[in-house]
Amino acid sequence: MKSGIQKIIIDTDIGDDIDDAFALALAVHSPELELIGITTVFRNSEISAKIAKALLTSYGRGDIPVYAGIDIPLLPGFSDRDNDTFDEKGRLIPCQYDCDTMGNFIPEAEWGPDFIIAVFLKIPGRSH
């Protein structure tokens, strides 16, 4: 790793508003950061992973791996939106994205949390 460059993972719910897309663009274009992977969470994590992969590809960084995570909050009772527009798995109904186009961008097969754990276990000097 070059001096001064920080390796990062972005864990995001990209796709429901613009802030995460801006953060991804900033991270990809920041010379002081090395984006080693993206994980997606909350509603529609599979579609969010495809959106992240599509954005990375448009930036010429389709080599950065993207992993889908969990769709629902781990804590019971947490919700910040009207549940009438989501199915029992937390997926948006209907798909607000061109799902046919998003199908061209396939996330990694590994589950997002497993990727994060594997990265942290490889950090030199960490006690396991």
pTM over 0.85: no
Residues in the chain, pLDDT under 50: 1, 82-84, 94-95
Token digits of residue 74: 């781990």
- How many other C-beta atoms are found inside a 10 Å radius of the C-beta of residue 70? 15
For residue 126, the model assigns a pLDDT of 64
Surface-to-core class of residue 38, CB atoms within 10 Å of its CB (0-12 exposed, 13-18 middle, 19+ buried): buried
Q: What is the pLDDT of residue 125?
A: 72
**What pLDDT is attached to residue 1?**
46
DSSP track, the chain: --TTPEEEEEEE-TTSSSHHHHHHHHHHH-TTEEEEEEEE-STTHHHHHHHHHHHHHHTT-TTS-EEE--SS-SSTT--SS-GGGB-TTS-BSS-SS-HHHHTTSPPBSS-HHHHHHHHHHTSTT---
pLDDT tens digits, one per residue of 15-44: 877 889 999 999 999 999 999 999 998 778
Q: What is the pLDDT of residue 112?
A: 85
Q: Residue 67 has what pLDDT?
A: 94
Please report the pLDDT score of residue 65 as a whole number: 95
- Backbone dihedral angles phi then psi of residue 23, each to the nearest 5 degrees: -60, -40
What's the pLDDT score for residue 60?
92
